[in-house]
Amino acid sequence: MKISLEQFDKAFENRIRLQIMSVLVANESYDFNSLKELLNVTDGNLASHLKALEKEGYIIVNKSFIGRKPNTQYSASPTGREAFKKHLQALENLIKQQRS
Amino acid sequence: MKEKDIYSELSSIRDLMERSTKFISLSGLSGIMAGIYALAGAFVGYKLVYGENSEMQLSDYSDRAVWLPLFLIAFIVLVLSLVTGVLLTIRQANKKHENYWNPVSKRLLLNLSVPLVTGGLFILILIFRGYFGMIASSCLIFYGLALVAASQFTFSDVKWLGFCEIILGLLAAMLPGYGLVFWIIGFGILHILYGSIMHFKYNQ
């Protein structure tokens, strides 16, 4: 069966990026360490995927300090939310296509 | 992309959305323990006020000698329940390899504490002003409100426990003099019931 992959967002091809986006869409914001724990990934891995999503304009990064510790909060941008919704829709359509 | 992959992708999204917004390491056992403490507290309180050897009379309801020990009992019950709840929750979180101190548990605590602290202060004011008849109902109502507020960050079952406590509190306010009965139902029996349900529903 041939499926058009055009509707799929390249940014979400990677599973971790999609997972990051799921968390950020469901929450107002999330910090780096909590994300790391939740997704069970390494610092470097998470950082590179966050960078990619930031470049795409899908997430908003807010750096601050709590005492002396850096605290970086991430939240989904409106573009990111829209893209995530479209991606989910595409997944859903794919299932429908395969059923018919 | 195969259908199986899509399903696994969708379920991983769902799972993460849920895990990142709900704290699911609450222990049912702590509910049962809280219920037992409350029943024990109510029993001791009852003996103190109505016991055969008690020299206290219902007419001295506003007497310091009556309400101070009752207040102490309630306070001890509260502290014991909180400590047990926190310890069991930490244990449960460790078992599930979840960090108990995460953004969701913080939000849960914040939402729980606003009605709870307000209620606590309100009840202290009631005591100092001598409105003893409304204490049991106020405890139940504010506790119920706290549960409803916190429930959006954990199992939805907590919300139903909250509603039951609020209803009991309102009933207690309409039937003054039966505070102890409502206390036993709300903090004792309901907790044990709820804790058992949670324990068997999620712990296995």
Q: According to the model, what pLDDT value does residue A2 have? A: 45
Q: Average pLDDT over chain B, rounded to whole?
A: 88
What tokens does A88 get? 């989910």
Q: Return the SS3 of A70.
A: strand
Q: What is the ipTM of this complex?
A: 0.79
Partners of B10 on chain A (C-beta within 8 Å) are: 88, 91
Whether A15 sits inside 8 A of B9 (CB atoms) is yes
> Which of A88, A95, A90 shows the shortest CA–CA distance to A26?
A88
Residue found by looking up tokens 């606590």 in the block:
B120
- Write the pLDDT tens digit of every residue in B80-110: 999 999 999 999 889 888 888 888 999 999 9
Q: Which of B13, B20, B99 sits opposite A30 (nearest CB)?
A: B20
Task: Report the predicted TM-score, pTM, of the whole model to 2 decimal places.
Answer: 0.82
Residue A4 has pLDDT above 80, yes or no: no
pLDDT at B118: 97
B12 touches chain A (CB under 8 A): yes
Nearest chain B residue (CA) to A87: B10
Residues B163-175 have pLDDT tens digits of: 999 999 999 999 9
Taking contacts as CB-CB distances below 8 angstroms, the residues of chain B near A31 are: 103
Q: What is the pLDDT of residues A80-90, one digit of tens each?
A: 999 999 999 88
Contact indicator for B127, B71 with CB cutoff of 8 Å: yes
pLDDT tens digits, residue range B37-84? 999 999 998 888 776 655 555 555 556 677 788 889 989 999 999 999
Q: Cα(A15)–Cα(B12) distance, rounded to whole angstroms?
A: 9
Query: b/e per residue, B39-70, with b = 16+ CB within 10 A?
Result: bebbebbeebbeeeeeeeeeeeeeeeebbeeb
Judge whether residue B139 has pLDDT over 70.
yes
Quick: pLDDT tens for A62-80: 998 888 888 899 999 999 9
